[in-house]
């Protein structure tokens, strides 16, 4: 069932679980993540970033993913990740996305607040939740122009209050596109931000976070945890082995099944670490038609 981000995150600041947002790039990995969620009876967020939308136009991606979400037996949020501007966010909303992120993290905070408020006004007019970022999470292997800047608790509080966003991405030690689980997460900074921000927090670059720290994050105010590289690595490693083992197989329908199973298992592992199955009461409420307001 297609779900709104605010609904799947509503108890994450109070209870010890978080919901993963898996970056997906097409039908197969979207299906693998939904299959993982259905296996566990837990909600899931499917996120499409700039690279994915350069490959598949947002209007095409949106219609496909919304259809898949509507046919799923668990709550599925369709999320725009790192929306760069007003036009991209508007296109995602028009395409049926049930959550959008505007990323103004590289701007001076005054400009970030001003532009985020414009996005919030647009999205909330259509009852679509908004994520934004204050501070900045850099990249491990590309996009060198993206700065790494830990989030100030003062800035986080101000930003949340002035923009009216539904959840807030903050920078506390992770990096995008990490392949090793060596990120040093500043849990004292997390406590300081939690003390002044009362909406769910969002972690970007979670592939680089150790299993132990993912379990710890599930007990904090982080409600949404973005994971992409872990799935791509599971896919790439499996596909590479299969191509080397079967060099005369060319049909993607034969090449993809094992790789997609590995993606599914990687997704299940992350959902278990984040205790996502604790959110299954939401699925029951939505299936029974109970209000989630």
Token digits of residue 99 = 């959550």
- Map residue 204 onto helix, strand or coil: coil
> d(Cα 271, Cα 20) in Å, to the nearest integer?
7
258 tagged catalytic: no
81 CB-side CA count, 13 A: 29
Residue whose entry in the numeric block shows the structure tokens 């939690």: 194
CA 113 distance to own-chain centroid? 21
What's the alpha-carbon Rg for the chain, to the nearest Å?
18
Other residues' Cβ atoms within 10 Å of the Cβ of residue 9: 28
**Cα–Cα dist 58/222, whole Å:** 27
The owner of tokens 């830990």 is: 150
Task: Quote the DSSP letter at residue 135.
Answer: S
What does the block give as tokens for 236?
Answer: 């790439």
Distances from the Cα of 224 to the Cαs of 145, 149, 151, 213, 237, in angstroms? 25, 20, 17, 15, 26
Question: How many helices (H) does the chain have, and how many strands (E)?
Answer: 12, 8
29, 35, 81, 166: the catalytic one is 81
Whole-angstrom distance, CA of residue 56 vs CA of residue 157: 36
Residues classed as catalytic = 81
């Amino acid at each position: 069932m297609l779900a709104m981000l605010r609904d799947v995150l509503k108890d994450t600041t109070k209870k010890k679980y978080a919901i993963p947002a898996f970056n997906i790039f097409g039908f197969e990995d979207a299906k693998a993540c939904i299959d993982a969620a259905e296996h566990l009876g837990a909600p899931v967020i499917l996120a499409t970033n700039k690279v994915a939308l350069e490959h598949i136009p947002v209007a095409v991606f949106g219609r496909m993913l919304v259809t898949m979400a509507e046919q799923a037996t668990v709550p599925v949020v369709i999320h725009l990740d790192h929306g760069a501007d007003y036009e991209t966010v508007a296109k995602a909303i028009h395409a049926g996305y049930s959550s959008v992120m505007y990323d103004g993290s590289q701007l001076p905070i005054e400009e970030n607040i001003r532009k985020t408020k414009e996005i919030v006004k647009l999205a909330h007019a259509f009852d679509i939740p908004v994520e934004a970022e204050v501070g900045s999470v850099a990249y491990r292997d590309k996009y060198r122009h993206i700065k790494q800047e830990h989030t100030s608790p003062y800035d986080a509080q101000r930003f949340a209050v002035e923009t009216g966003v539904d959840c807030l991405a903050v920078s506390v030690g992770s990096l995008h596109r990490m392949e090793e689980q060596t990120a040093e997460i500043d849990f004292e900074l997390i406590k300081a931000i939690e003390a002044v921000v009362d909406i769910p927090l969002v972690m970007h670059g979670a592939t680089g976070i150790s299993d132990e720290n993912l379990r710890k994050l599930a007990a904090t105010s982080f409600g949404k945890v973005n994971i992409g590289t872990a799935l791509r690595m599971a896919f790439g490693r499996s596909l590479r082995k299969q191509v080397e083992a079967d060099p005369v197989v060319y049909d993607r329908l034969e090449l993809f099944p094992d790789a997609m199973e590995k993606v599914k298992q990687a997704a299940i592992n992350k959902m278990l670490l984040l205790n996502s199955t604790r959110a299954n009461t939401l699925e029951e409420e939505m299936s029974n038609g109970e209000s989630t307001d």
